[in-house]
Amino acid sequence: MFEKIALVGIGLIGSSLARVIRREGLTSHIAIATRSPETLKRAEELGLGDSYSTGAAEAVKDADLVIVSVPVGSSGAVAEEIAPALKPGAILTDVGSTKGSVIAQMKPHLPEGVHFIPGHPLAGTEKSGPDAGFAELFENRWCILTPLPGTDPEAQEKLSEFWRRCGSNIDTMDPEHHDMVLAIVSHLPHIIAYNIVGTADDLATVTKSEVIKYSASGFRDFTRIAASDPTMWRDVCLHNKDAILEMLARFSEDLASLQRAIRWGDGEKLFDLFTRTRAIRRSIIEAGQEIDAPDFGRQVVAHPEKLAKG
């Protein structure tokens, strides 16, 4: 599809891209750049690319497709660094979890003739770094593009086809709406998970060893996303502030109302909410965005011999 693809950043997303690009044969040259010499060395040991450098400008030279996969707070610095080296006609995209802020940071640096099409693959795990990536990460996940006015339709279609070849489904929306949608489906859940794990960690009446021992009764579900990359999530919080504060306000309002129902013993109200929320999971499973196995399939993983039996 492309003569040369440059991956700036080779963490979970970048290294998953490297693997799926190779598997699908989407280019003859993968150039990898990361500022960290240790990470670069590891990427090379894993054989993720065809050339390696700590300088992003060097990697993007002659690339037809450049994918920036760095914490969103670093987008501006990366754009400034690579701008002079970008090939005219190249497609430049990113994978950041916030779009308004990334556009504001990157756009001013970019030369005419480069197709800048911001994007966000909704895929990830709680692991980070080049070892954590895998080629199937994007399979059946949504990739949202937030093209700017005047974007070349051909370049946009080419980028869409790239993501489809990686296994993704494509949606487009404007950056503001993206940031609002992600605030509720991703940013708020992460912030709440971080918060509840922090609250549990701080308790004096219940010891930390009790929290750990008895975590299977619910708590451990929250620890997965609260184990996500701290730098990435700090940047998300700082760069999608308005939408996140709006969602936090709604969440807290609802929680105050639920708390009041508990205090006053309003069983009917509790039952209504607890019934309504059950249906949503069913819809997510039906939409192919969640597995149907109970307990996220933990039993299946713990007892793989059962899979063989069917």
Answer for which of 49, 124, 167, 175 binds its own copies (CB under 8 A) is: 124
Quick one: which segment of 86-94, 105-113, 152-160, 240-248 binds its own copies (CB under 8 A)?
A: 240-248
Q: Is the dihedral of CA 26, 31, 36, 39 positive or negative?
A: positive
Residue 194 has phi, psi (to 5 degrees) of -60, -40
Q: Dig out the tokens for 71 from the structure.
A: 């914490």
| 54: DSSP letter | S
For residue 55, the minimal CB distance to its own copies (Å) is 26
Segment 153 to 172, residues that bind its own copies, using CB under 8 A = 171
For residue 60, the minimal CB distance to its own copies (Å) is 27
For residue 34, the minimal CB distance to its own copies (Å) is 20
The secondary structure of 254-288, three-state, reads HHHHHHHHHHCCCHHHHHHHHHHHHHHHHHHHHCC
Quick one: which segment of 31-39, 58-66, 132-140, 145-153 binds its own copies (CB under 8 A)?
A: 132-140
For residue 175, the minimal CB distance to its own copies (Å) is 14
User: Does 276 engage in binding with its own copies (CB under 8 A)?
Assistant: yes
In whole angstroms, how far apart are CA 90 and each of 64, 70, 82, 109, 121? 5, 19, 12, 15, 20
d(CA 186, CA 226): 12
Quick one: which segment of 15-23, 35-43, 44-52, 277-285 binds its own copies (CB under 8 A)?
A: 277-285
Answer for which of 3, 19, 125, 170 binds its own copies (CB under 8 A) is: 125
Segment 65 to 104, residues that bind its own copies, using CB under 8 A = 97
| 85: DSSP letter | G
Tokens 């059962």 correspond to 306
Quick one: which segment of 22-30, 78-86, 105-113, 175-183 binds its own copies (CB under 8 A)?
A: 175-183
